Amino acid sequence: MKAEIKFEPIANWGVKNPKPFIIAGPCSAESEEQMVETARGMDLTKVSAFRAGIWKPRTRPNMFEGVGPVGLQWLRTVKQETGLLTATEVANVKHVYEALKAGIDIIWIGARTTTNPFAVQEIADALQGVDITVLIKNPINPDVELWVGAIERIARAGISKIGAIHRGFSRFEKSAYRNPPHWQIPLDLRRMLPTLPIICDPSHIAGNTSLLEDISQRAFDLSYDGLIIETHCNPSVALSDAKQQITPYELSRMLGRLALRSPETSDPGFLQNLEELRGQIDKLDVEIIRLMGTRMRVSEDIGKVKKTQSITIFQAGRWDEIMNKTIEMGAAEGLSPEFINNLFKAIHQESINHQTDIMNKKD
């Protein structure tokens, strides 16, 4: 059912440069001068839409929460002077009406709002019969179904120009990212909704400018359709998220360095080579699954042994030993500690599940 939803390609959104689709502009609208200066500094052959936060959802009160509706007029000025499409975030029905009244071209639903189906439905109801582009950021928590649900609600309102924004997910562990990307989740979204355009937000994933280019390239390597990047004429004085904003000049240089990838080719030699390599992968996957099955059967035997002595399933010392050993072995094979950590946590959890069944099974 989900795959039956048809989405308009970005080329039908009224975009000048749809491949890749670049949205850029400051985290927050601060003044008309700041907005216009930032927009004028952009390479209009690469950037198609200008973004700015008008209403800023802040974690705590008494922080800068945006300039409000006056910023919408500044966005109109930017459009008049540069021809760029305009984009801003909406979090409730009042924001929607204000943005529509100001003639904003693109609205996006932020991560906090996506988490709340009631809020998304109210926004969807307000958009009934409106011809506008709507982008939906992933929810804060890594839940692809919640993300799909928000997209479906907007689609049911009759909106066909819909895109997803991948901005990363809240972290529970130490990470190099402000919001770890968890790339598999947007890839699952693409599998579920194959015609849905997906845009990467490297600014919020990174939280700093040093990681922007690597994340952007990773997105293009994974066939994303575009980027939304926070850009400010003078980031050092920005009123919000100063550390993750770059100047228009830096944006232009970065975009010039990124390599665009094609999702397919007709080269017969390449296709044959790829097919042979994929065949090797398929055989290895079969071996991995069989080994996992064998490992779980051994785990069940361990559970039976523990049951005879009423020993707890989890043994902290043994778990530390496994993790230290496997991370070291993984490094020797060129595997990252993060990958080994995630892989063996999943294996360990499955092992616990098997042992739990054994321990609680009535004789």
Q: CA-CA distance, 335 to 331, in Å (whole number)? A: 5
Q: Tokens at residue 276, please?
A: 């042979």
pTM over 0.85: yes
Q: What is the CATH number of domain 268-360?
A: 1.20.59.10
Q: Do domains 2-257 and 268-360 have the same CATH topology?
A: no
- For residue 63, the model assigns a pLDDT of 77
Q: What is the pLDDT of residues 146-180, one digit of tens each?
A: 999 999 999 999 999 999 999 999 987 778 899 99
pLDDT of 59 reads: 74
In the chain, which stretches have pLDDT less than 70? Answer: 1-3, 363
Q: Which of 130, 100, 94, 132 is nearest to 113 (CA)?
A: 94
CA pair distance 137, 9, nearest whole angstrom = 18
Domain boundaries, the chain: 2-257, 268-360
| CATH entry, 2-257, from 1.10.10.60, 1.10.1040.10, 3.20.20.70, 3.20.20.150 | 3.20.20.70
Dist CA 46 CA 228 (whole Å): 12
Q: Provide the token pair at 7.
A: 């989405």
In terms of DSSP bridges, do strands 198-200 and 133-137 run parallel, antiparallel, or are they unpaired? unpaired
